[in-house]
């Protein structure tokens, strides 16, 4: 623990703590002869005690005025879970349900809503993991850094519930998700949980960079592919000659070539999504060492509290004083 003061010059007031040792603070009454009186131990003890109390109270007040605080610091914590970055697709297609319908009585739950509900469940179950969140459509959106704060993660998941729009542009999202691991010690499993319902081609250049980053950070990749009935399964090679025909297949192949553990879950209905998430939840946990930032804390209240407690007996002593008889 290290401390600091908002305005340390006020600490000079602490010199006032010497005053009670110079002056007792009670007006003296002239008495004929003290030399005759034997030493009274109890009185001496009470006198010293009162002086010490006054001294400490003054010091506490001076410290309180100076505004002490505990510096912000990094606290090492031991976690047992993984670092999980939730990479959530916010493209317009996520507004549809699994049958490809967009609206109407039979539309049911949208893919987005299903994904959010299940992710929230997942987060709630995984007590020890650190979560971060990135949403992406045409461009990635930074939602939440890695944290263990459950409330914050759940709120972040909830926040991506509005209508999605735009296309699915995976590469920048992946780059941002990988960036969360950048510069952090590799203390446990790193997982990127990609939830999307489609894919786009990634350019050759980006592909190489992302591959490099994946290998540097030793992250695992899980892809929950929310497949509508009318889109192609992942392992069926495209029939046409065009690359655009089945970007999901190409992306799947690309992910397999990353050189890091990769699993894809094709979820064609809400139940399948649930199973996919339960599957990830079963992954072995490694103990995880990480640093968490504790914000700077104001300690002046403690000083004032101490001063108050010290001043109460002094008030009692003041009321006991006798000045004339």
**Residue closer to another protein (CB basis): 23 or 253:** 23
Give least dist CB 323 to another protein, A.
8
Give least dist CB 307 to another protein, A.
21
Q: Could you say whether residue 38 binds another protein (CB under 8 A)?
A: yes
Q: Could you say whether residue 26 binds another protein (CB under 8 A)?
A: yes
Q: Could you say whether residue 320 binds another protein (CB under 8 A)?
A: yes
Could you say which residues in the range 110-129 bind another protein, by CB under 8 A? none
Q: How many residues bind another protein (CB under 8 A)?
A: 25
Instruction: Return d(Cα 325, Cα 317) in angstroms, integer.
Output: 18
Instruction: Return d(Cα 220, Cα 138) in angstroms, integer.
Output: 24
Q: Tell me the Ramachandran region of residue 84: left when phi exceeds 0, alpha when psi lies from -120 to 50, beta otherwise.
A: beta
Q: Could you say whether residue 149 binds another protein (CB under 8 A)?
A: no
**Residue closer to another protein (CB basis): 42 or 284:** 42
x/- binding map, residues 289-318, to another protein, per CB under 8 A?
A: ----------------------------x-
Could you say which residues in the range 192-251 bind another protein, by CB under 8 A? none
Q: State the DSSP string of 154-223.
A: HHHHHHTTS---S---HHHHHHHHHHTTTTS---S-EEEEEEES------HHHHHHHHHHHHHHT-EEEE
Q: Could you say whether residue 32 binds another protein (CB under 8 A)?
A: yes
Q: Could you say whether residue 22 binds another protein (CB under 8 A)?
A: no
Q: Could you say whether residue 35 binds another protein (CB under 8 A)?
A: yes
Instruction: Return d(Cα 267, Cα 111) in angstroms, integer.
Output: 10
Among 30, 75, 151, 204, binds another protein (CB under 8 A): 30
Instruction: Find tokens 């993984």 and name the residue.
Output: 82
The answer to whether 228 and 168 have CB atoms below 8 angstroms apart is no
The alpha-carbon radius of gyration of the chain (Å, integer) is: 33
**Residue closer to another protein (CB basis): 50 or 157:** 50
Give least dist CB 40 to another protein, A.
6
**Residue closer to another protein (CB basis): 40 or 109:** 40
Q: How many CA atoms lie within 13 A of 164 on its CB side?
A: 31
Contacting range for another protein; rule: CB under 8 A; set: 28-36, 59-67, 234-242, 285-293: 28-36
Instruction: Return d(Cα 227, Cα 240) in angstroms, integer.
Output: 20
Q: How many CA atoms lie within 13 A of 22 on its CB side?
A: 5
**Residue closer to another protein (CB basis): 163 or 318:** 318
**Residue closer to another protein (CB basis): 54 or 91:** 54
Contacting range for another protein; rule: CB under 8 A; set: 13-21, 22-30, 283-291, 304-312: 22-30
Contacting range for another protein; rule: CB under 8 A; set: 37-45, 85-93, 112-120, 285-293: 37-45
Could you say which residues in the range 40-69 bind another protein, by CB under 8 A? 40, 42-43, 46-47, 50
Instruction: Return d(Cα 276, Cα 283) in angstroms, integer.
Output: 12
N-term to C-term CA, the chain: 53
| CA angle 160–161–166, rounded 5-degree value | 70
Residue 128 CB partners (closer than 8 Å, separation 6+): 79, 80, 81, 148, 285, 288
Question: Which residues sit at the interface with another protein, rule CB under 8 A?
Answer: 24, 26-38, 40, 42-43, 46-47, 50, 317, 320-322, 325
């Amino acid at each position: 623990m290290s401390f600091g003061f908002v305005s340390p010059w006020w600490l000079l007031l602490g010199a006032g703590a010497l005053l009670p040792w110079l002056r007792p603070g009670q007006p003296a009454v002239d008495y004929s002869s003290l030399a005759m009186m034997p030493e009274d131990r109890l009185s001496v003890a009470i006198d010293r005690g009162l002086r010490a109390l006054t001294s400490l109270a003054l010091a506490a007040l001076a410290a309180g005025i100076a505004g002490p605080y505990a510096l912000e610091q990094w606290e090492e914590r031991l976690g047992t879970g993984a670092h999980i970055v939730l990479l959530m697709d916010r493209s317009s297609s996520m507004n549809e349900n699994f049958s490809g319908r967009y609206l109407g009585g039979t539309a049911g739950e949208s893919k987005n809503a299903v994904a959010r509900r299940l992710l929230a469940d997942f987060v709630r179950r995984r007590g020890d993991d650190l979560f971060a969140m990135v949403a992406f459509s045409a461009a990635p959106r930074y939602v939440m850094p890695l944290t263990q704060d459950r409330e914050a993660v759940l709120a972040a998941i909830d926040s991506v519930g509005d209508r999605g729009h735009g296309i699915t542009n995976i590469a920048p999202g992946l780059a941002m998700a990988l960036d969360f691991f950048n510069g952090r010690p590799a203390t446990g499993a790193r997982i990127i949980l990609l939830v999307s319902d489609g894919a786009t081609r990634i350019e050759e250049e980006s592909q190489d960079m992302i591959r490099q980053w994946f290998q540097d950070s030793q992250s695992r990749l899980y892809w929950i592919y929310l497949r509508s009935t009318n889109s192609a399964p992942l392992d069926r090679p495209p029939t046409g000659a065009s690359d655009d025909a089945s970007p999901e297949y190409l992306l799947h192949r690309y992910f397999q070539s990353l050189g890091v553990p990769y699993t894809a879950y094709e979820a064609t209905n809400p139940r399948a999504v649930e199973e996919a998430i339960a599957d990830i939840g079963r992954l072995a946990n490694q103990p995880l060492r990480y640093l968490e930032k504790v914000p700077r804390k104001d300690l002046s209240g403690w000083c004032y509290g101490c001063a108050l407690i010290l001043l109460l007996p002094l008030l009692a002593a003041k009321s006991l004083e006798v000045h004339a008889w």
